Chain A
Amino acid sequence: MIGLAAVLLMATLGRIAGISGIVGGLTTADGNAERGWRLAFLLGLIGTPAVIGLFMPALMHSDFTVSLPLVILAGVVVGIGTTLGNGCTSGHGVCGTARLSMRSLLATMTFMSTGVATTFLVRHILGGAP
């Protein structure tokens, strides 16, 4: 479904389905037409899982293993990192890699590596969560 969504957005609007880019572009988008499709995408992204959850509450899990201050810190780091790096899991990991973009391939290897390394550090060295 994630792949189909990316293909649908490209086929209809000619756009990359990169979430960080779609959100970030809200500030720099020129004109209402540019802002409109971004807001519509985000409305679907937020609203549709909310509606599905009404019928399938078992899917609505959001279990954090780190403390609230660390969650906020992670949010800030993800925001800065995806803006500097021009993309996240969807833009680089799915869309960019599917286009065989060298930038995205390297980006994906980089965030997978630091993601695995951070999880290792938190779980096995600092001994936070099981």
Chain B
Amino acid sequence: MMRTIASFAAGSLFGTGLLVSQMTNPSKVLAFLDIFGNWDPSLAFVMGGALLVTLIGYKIVLRRKQPVFAEKFRLPMRSDVDRRLIGGTALFGIGWGLAGLCPGPAIASVSFGGVPVILFTTAMVGAMFLTRRILMGSYA
């Protein structure tokens, strides 16, 4: 129960942050990515701020032996850089620069973004599930 509440609170806080900073607005995101045009750098401060808070917060939290409601911290252990990482994130950036939405803001705006956001999110989640299935198949 406490796990559910904590997770819901984290999701709520995350969604509120995206909404207040207007990361949920594709035209705002594209104005941030358009550094050669009429550049709007405000989202750099949003992302930089989030990064700074997380950097300091993680330093404090990860000093503990374990999380409050779980047995251990589940941190990604991989440190190798492969073609899949670079190719995948390159592809992600292309989609992000095309529409102006990344996964968090897309999901946070499904309630008010109308048909385009619903279609984007459905296509995105469908592609995630399908890609996972194919990847797992090839490594099984």
Contact = CB atoms under 8 A, between A and B. Distances in A.
B8 A75 contact: no
Interface string A18-47: 011001100110000100111011111111
A97 B25 contact: no
B25 A11 contact: no
Contacts of B79: 101-103
Contacts of A10: 57-58, 61-62, 67, 73
B25 to A, nearest CB: 4
Contact of B76 (A52, A96, A116, A122): A96
Interface string A84-107: 111111101111111101110011
A117 B97 CA distance: 8
A16 B133 CA distance: 22
Contact of A12 (B10, B51, B81, B131): B10
Contact of B51 (A63, A86, A94, A130): A94
Chain B at the A interface: mostly helix, strand, loop or mixed? helix
Interface in B99-140: 99-104, 106-117, 119-133, 135-136
Contact of B128 (A6, A68, A79): A79
Contact of B25 (A62, A99, A107): A62
A41 B124 contact: no
Interface in B1-50: 2-22, 24-28, 30, 33-38, 46-47, 49-50
Q: Indicate the member of B92, B96, B108, B110 with the most A CB atoms within 10 Å.
A: B92
A57 B24 CA distance: 13
B85 A106 contact: yes
Contacts of B24: 49, 61-62
Interface of B: 2-22, 24-28, 30, 33-38, 46-47, 49-55, 57-58, 61-62, 64, 66-76, 78-81, 84-104, 106-117, 119-133, 135-136
Given A8-B10, A44-B15, A98-B54, 4 more contacts: A3-B50, A61-B25, A77-B91, A111-B96
